[in-house]
Structure 1
Amino acid sequence: MSESAEDGRVLVVGAGPVGLVAACELARHGVVPRVVEALAVPTVQSRAVGVQPRSQEMLATLGVLDRFLAASLPQQRIEIDQPDGDGFRRLTGMDLAHLPTRHPSILDLPQTATEALLGDRAAELGVTVERGVTLTDLRQDADGVEVVLRSDQGEERTRVDWVFGADGGHSTVRGLVGSALQGTFTGSHFAMADVVVESEYARDVTRLFASPGGLTVMMCMLGGRTRLLFQVPDPGPDAGEPTLELVQELATARMGRTVRVSDPSWLTYYSVHQAQIPQYRVGRVFLGGDAAHIHSPAAAQGMNTGLQDAANLAWKLALVRRGLASEQLLDSYHAERHPVGAAVVREATAMARSMTLTGLPAVARNTGMRIVGHSDRLAHAMARNIAQLTVAYRNSPIVRRVGHAPHGALRPGEHLDDLAELTDPAGTPVLIEELLRDRPGHLLLTRTADDDGLARLRAALGDLGTVVPVVPRAAGAAPDAVVDPTGALATRYGLGDDGLVLIRPDGYLGYVSTSSDGGELRDFLDETGLTGGTASSVVLGPETSGAR
């Protein structure tokens, strides 16, 4: 064995939620990275709160969603309100129960809990977080990256193959590769409070309040705690922390006179800009999360977008590191995620600005929101967007469809749909989400049951993942088959009588065909940089070894 996964040839800088997801997914796919974090101990500050449904789908595949459910307060609805005398006037509302996902709620929990849960999962996967270690220099060439790391033990110079910068809005990695955020830097200022709130508001509803003074957000957590965010004028560099009295004044003015706040555990001011870097990949260095995009906290998009950055990159980087893909594949990280980040920056900024309108513009805003609230279709579309269920990579260079696409069928680049009709031959329900969890890698579902055809598909896919036959009946089915008695999968994915769908490790459709032709599949894999050959000598992580 020339190398092992523990050699840390991929360096993750930053052990916040984004860096930890990247580390977990790399390890799950056979490459345990080296993770360094400048903070000597985990932060007690908790900025992000809401975990969106799309992120929950990723956490389920990671095998950690149950822990998040136990630690969080699910939010069943989103409302946008306006203060009105002693109470409030609803502008619009969105129920989450009918979202097209197995996880139709937003999970509210402190970012500190998110980091702790992901840290535990990383440790289970063999990842060690080196704390109190700061990246001070980075120089790359065609073959690798030389980095300088500083800690209490002194200075270390080492060489790695790849670097993922997940080190936040003041990213050192971003500066060292010569990149910079581009956007609006006048900034929005917020007073943030973790407090106990007494009010008539339901605690399973995330609320945004429109006010001439600025956006206000209310997110409730377990243990009676509530996160309040108030957009405020620039408090100035010497403002110190906001007082509980100021938080009460803001709550009364913007949320209604019946709201009472007490028992603060954290009060702070912070500023937010709206900006994004031009390139997510700079040679052998990648950037994600706040290191790549920053924006208003409206609709709880920031951390979730970063989590999805990490989930998108990690499986690709692991395949390249293991010799199962060419470096060409890594260009798709920027191609897929940069447009998503740009859209989030635009939409979060627009939402925050719309909350501060006055006069006729405010009247127009309120009218528009009431129209949304009275239209199930519009409200559902808005909820899907906030839940990040509309994120797709239809124009990605690494997705393709072969054959006719029936109306309503999922398109390559869209996220999988889990179907209730699927079972194993014994009649136990089968969820594609769980297949991805238990069999890290690509998942190829094919309607052919022909032994020779299956052998050709397995040869074409190689070590990239698992081939699973989908059959109409349990009688005579192979033990690893999925039974689809109604043909629901073929209809939803547009597979025809003999088609297949290749689901990527991040749950998105990579290749859809009405034919289970191993040669066409092989052509697609070759053209997108997925070689699928025998894995290199890198040791697989603790949950990725064994036969597929």
Structure 2
Amino acid sequence: MVGAGGGAPVLVVGAGPVGLTAACELARQGARVRLVDAAPEPTTQSRAVTVHARTQEHLAAMGVLDELAARAVAITAVEVRSGAAGTLRLRASTAGIDSRYPRALDAPQPVTEHVLAELAARLGVVVERGVELTDLSQDAGGVDVALSSGAGTGRERFAWVVGADGGHSRVRAAVGERIEGVFHGEHFLFADVAARTTLSPDTIRLFAGPDGVSGAFPMPDGRTRFLVQVPAPGPGAEPTLDQTQRLVDDRMGEHWRLSDPRWLVWFEVHHGQVERYRRGRVLLAGDAAHVHSPAGGQGMNTGMQDAVNLAWKLALVSTGRAGEELLDSYHAERRPVGAAVVRQTTRLTHAVASAGARAHLRDVGLLLLGHLPAVGEAVASSLAEVRVRYRGSPAVGGGAGVRGACPGDHAPDPAGLTDAAGAETWVGDLLRRPGHLLLTTCLSRTSHERLRAVLGGLGTVVPVVPRADGVPGPVLVDPGGHVADRYGIGHDGAALVRPDGYLGYLAARTDPDAVADHLATREHVRFARGA
């Protein structure tokens, strides 16, 4: 079903968290969307369970974070332990994460998918299940796609295709891309079980040992997701609850009594990513673009952030508001992020699997570093992906005279702001309205009107003022000057926040012509100068 919106239709292949996020954001930003998935029913397996802070910020802008949080366990720390006694080596609190949501949320993947699928339906996009992409070909004007279902196989034409169909992506294969990386594979036992324990449910616990990494991720309703790195299982072998209990006891101590298994599976993990995230009119996201160890719980998050980065750009292009050159910035911005996650998770998995003298050095290093609060904060921030930035991207610009944030950074979200009526307000709240958000600390109403003429239907101009004083339209009241300071734009500047929450443009002086030039040259907007 094609969701509400204008312009040429976009086909999203795959209705997991990544595909659902892409479809929702495409529709929310004004694109026409069709969403298909080969599976006849949504997954019932817990799969990816952790939603980190940066992803929560995106879900908040989409308006569904509260619903997810109500069905999740809040995680406020990550511990790393090692040795037969499970000695605590490092504890990373989430309290220092620079986010409005300094926590992780653990919930089974079906819960995340359900929340997103309901949002998609409200936006006019319904998942077409049992529909499989079997082939595609493209030319300069569109993509011809073969779709197979119970009703038969037919060919349809779309302007753009997003491949979010997982590690065995048909879309990736159809455009000739393949995962480049390490292919000997690592094997894990994944278990979703009821687990009685006296340990607090607000902490993710990782265990390092000579046999590899193990982890316990608390979930709602007294359940826990365990992952245990194991040797390659024999052909046809199926894990059992007793076997899982023994592995958990041996690797993580006798802290959990397991029962009621909902999901026990061997899982092989590779490390790598595709060479190009964009192939003409076909774009890859999530596991279709990158695969890596599950140890940090970052796979789903990285993929959902791929989708948010891509969707606003593709919405502008597919509706004719921007040239397709804007889509090149998707690869430029997200491939380095995927590469960093692959490197980090690979190093983590290899480091924790050390034995002998190397294991001793690892434990000593972790013990020493664990006593430095800054190290724990860095670990938590890295896992939460709040340090992701796009400095140097072809889609960002400005920065002259700015003494704070940089173009390409995530937009700061300081406390202490209100709306004109005095109600607490956050910059992130303003992103619930589709499109760009243009903040200006300039007090000239003439400049405000010129900015609105430049931005047009691309978004909203919000003056940042020390007091409301009858300023028309939406405003941020900031008597403490927090926006001027955190953004570094002073009291006559401008900050263009992209729909994905990142800073596209910054300036210490508000100049509507400069904003128009940025939109035309960096984001390839076709009507920025039509005001």
The two structures have a TM-score, normalised by structure 1, of 0.94
CA contact (8 A) 1:460 1:532 kept: no
> Which residue of structure 1 aligns with residue 414 of structure 2?
419
* Matched residue, 2:27: 27
Write out per-residue CA displacement over residues 63-103 of structure 1, whole angstroms, 9 at most, x where no aligned residue. 00011101100111100012434xx2101001112211111
- Asked if the contact 1:38–1:132 (Cα under 8 Å) also holds between the matched residues in 2, the reply is yes
Q: 1:308-355 CA distances to partner (integer Å, 9 max, x unpaired)?
A: 000000000001112211111000000000000000001001101111
- Counterpart Cα distance in 2 of 1:269 and 1:48: 15
Q: Which consecutive unaligned segments of at least 5 residues does structure 2 have?
A: none
User: Which residue of structure 2 lines up, in the alignment, with residue 261 of structure 1?
Assistant: 258
Structure 1 residue 244 displacement after superposition: 1.1
Percent identical among aligned pairs is 50
Deviation readout 1:107-161 (Å, 9 max, x if unpaired): 0000111111111110011101111001011000001001110101111211100
Aligned to 1:296: 293
Task: Quote how far apart the aligned CAs of 1:479 are.
Answer: 4.2
2:335 aligned to which of 335, 338, 342: 338
What SS class does the counterpart of residue 223 from structure 1 fall into?
coil
Alignment-derived partner of residue 490 in structure 1: 484
Q: What is the match of residue 91 of structure 2? A: 93
The change in CA–CA distance for 1:162 and 1:377 in structure 2 (over 3 A counts) is same
- 1:532 Cα shift? 5.7
Deviation, structure 1 residue 474:
2.2
Between the aligned partners of 2:415 and 2:185, the Cα distance in structure 1 is 46
Using the TM superposition, name which of 479-488 and 335-344 deviates more. 479-488
The one-letter amino acid of 2:48's match is A
CA contact (8 A) 1:324 1:534 kept: no
Distance 1:436 1:311 in 2: 13
**Matched letter for residue 442 of structure 2:** T
Distance 1:451 1:149 in 2: 53
Match of 1:280 in 2: 277
Q: CA deviation at 1:171?
A: 0.2
Q: Secondary structure at the match of 2:317?
A: helix
CA contact (8 A) 2:213 2:349 kept: yes
Q: How many residues align?
A: 527
Note closer, same or farther for the CA distance 1:66–1:484 as it changes in structure 2 (3 Å cut).
Answer: same
More deviation in 197-206 or 3-12?
A: 3-12
User: Which residue number in structure 1 is paired with residue 130 of structure 2?
Assistant: 132
Asked if structure 2 preserves the Cα contact closer than 8 Å seen for 1:425 and 1:479, the reply is no
**Residue 283 to residue 479, structure 1, CA distance change in 2 (3 Å):** closer
Residues of 2 paired with 1:124 and 1:463: CA distance? 22
* Structure 2 counterparts to residues 506-521 of structure 1, below 5 A: 506-521=500-515
SS in 1 for 2:229: strand
Q: Supply the distance in 2 between the matched residues of 1:160 and 1:194 (Cα, whole angstroms).
A: 39
Q: Contact 1:5 / 1:30 at 8 angstroms: preserved in 2? A: yes
Give 1:434's aligned residue: 429
Q: Which residue of 1 aligns with 2:246?
A: 249
Q: Does 1:410 align with 2:405?
A: yes
**Alpha-carbon separation, structure 1, partners of 2:383 and 2:60:** 19
Amino acid at match of 2:188: F
**1:102 is matched with which residue?**
100
Mean CA deviation greater in 88-97 or 55-64: 88-97
User: Within 5 Å, which residues of 2 pair with 1:519-534?
Assistant: 519-531=513-525, 533=527
Cα shift readout 1:421-464 (whole Å, capped 9, x = no counterpart): 21112211111111110x21000001122222112212222221
Worse-matched range after superposition: 446-455 or 115-124? 446-455
CA deviations on 1:37-79 (whole Å, 9 max, x unpaired) are: 0011111122101000000000000000011101100111100
Counterpart code for 1:420? A
| Residue among 305, 308, 313 paired with 2:305 | 308
CA 1:322 to 1:479, structure 2 compared with 1: closer, same or farther past 3 Å? Answer: same
> What residue is the counterpart of 1:44 in the other structure?
44
2:115 maps to 1:120: no
How far 1:7 moved relative to its partner? 8.1
C-alpha distance in structure 2 between counterparts of 1:224 and 1:500, whole Å? 48
Displacement of 1:6 in angstroms is 7.4
In 2, the alpha carbon distance for the partners of 1:82 and 1:470 equals: 50
Match for 1:44: what amino acid? T
Alpha carbons of structure 1 residues 8 and 48: separation in structure 2 relative to 1, 3 Å: farther
Distance 1:176 1:252, change over 3 A: same
C-alpha distance after superposition, 1:351-398 (max 9, x if no partner): 011111011111111122112210011111111101101111012111
For residues 139-538 of structure 1, the aligned pairs below 5 Å read 139-239=137-237, 241-406=238-403, 409-437=404-432, 439-531=433-525, 533=527
In structure 2, give the amino acid aligned to 1:259.
W
Give, in whole Å, the separation in 2 of the partners of 1:237 and 1:441: 51
1:169-204 alpha-carbon deviations (Å, 9 max, x no partner): 000000000110000000000111111222332111
CA distance in 2, matches of 1:371, 1:464: 50
Q: In the alignment, is the contact (CA less than 8 A) between 2:7 and 2:319 conserved in 1?
A: no
Equivalent in the alignment of 2:13: 13
The alpha-carbon distance between structure 1 residues 370 and 129, as it changes in their structure 2 partners (threshold 3 A), is same
Q: Secondary structure of 2:331's partner?
A: helix
- Structure 1 unaligned residues grouped into runs of 5+: 536-548
C-alpha distance in 1 between matches for 2:18 and 2:488: 34
Calculate the aligned-residue CA RMSD, in Å: 1.6
Output the CA distance in 2 between the equivalents of 1:431 and 1:502: 15
Letter in 1 for 2:514: E
Q: Secondary structure in 1 aligned to 2:19?
A: helix
